[in-house]
Amino acid sequence: ETGVTQTPRHLVMGMTNKKSLKCEQHLGHNAMYWYKQSAKKPLELMFVYSLEERVENNSVPSRFSPECPNSSHLFLHLHTLQPEDSALYLCASSQDRGSASYEQYFGPGTRLTVT
């Protein structure tokens, strides 16, 4: 498999559930990102990892917890979510962080619905 993959593609969860989103990149990149995409809103950067170290956390609620066990895998652990957290969650990777010209490669996203 090539590029950036995400599982599951669709997830419906109750507010009291715990679930995890998985992202894997096969590009040999050093930086990985989690984004939230809501309808008609700009992409919201949630977390950035560079060489497996978290370098940014943009005031994301603690009910979202990222994990980066190695440079190829990224997880987003979810617990006690709210209905307003329903959105498309995109994972992306880039060669490095700290150089503006490196484009990001995105996965297909997980469509999350919180009931």
Partner 1 sequence: GQNIDQPTEMTATEGAIVQINCTYQTSGFNGLFWYQQHAGEAPTFLSYNVLDGLEEKGRFSSFLSRSKGYSYLLLKELQMKDSASYLCAATDSNYQLIWGAGTKLIIKP
Measured from the CB atom, the residue of 7 and 14 that comes closer to partner 1 is: 7
Nearest distance, CB of residue 30 and partner 1, angstroms: 13
Measured from the CB atom, the residue of 39 and 84 that comes closer to partner 1 is: 39
* Among 42, 49, 54, 41, CA closest to 91: 49
Q: How far apart are CA 67 and CA 82, in angstroms?
A: 21
Nearest distance, CB of residue 21 and partner 1, angstroms: 14
Measured from the CB atom, the residue of 45 and 60 that comes closer to partner 1 is: 45
Q: Contact positions toward partner 1, by CB under 8 A?
A: 4, 40-43, 45, 56, 90, 97-101, 103-109
Strands in 1-115 per DSSP E: 4-7, 10-13, 18-25, 31-37, 44-50, 53-57, 64-70, 73-79, 87-94, 105-106, 110-114
Nearest distance, CB of residue 63 and partner 1, angstroms: 23
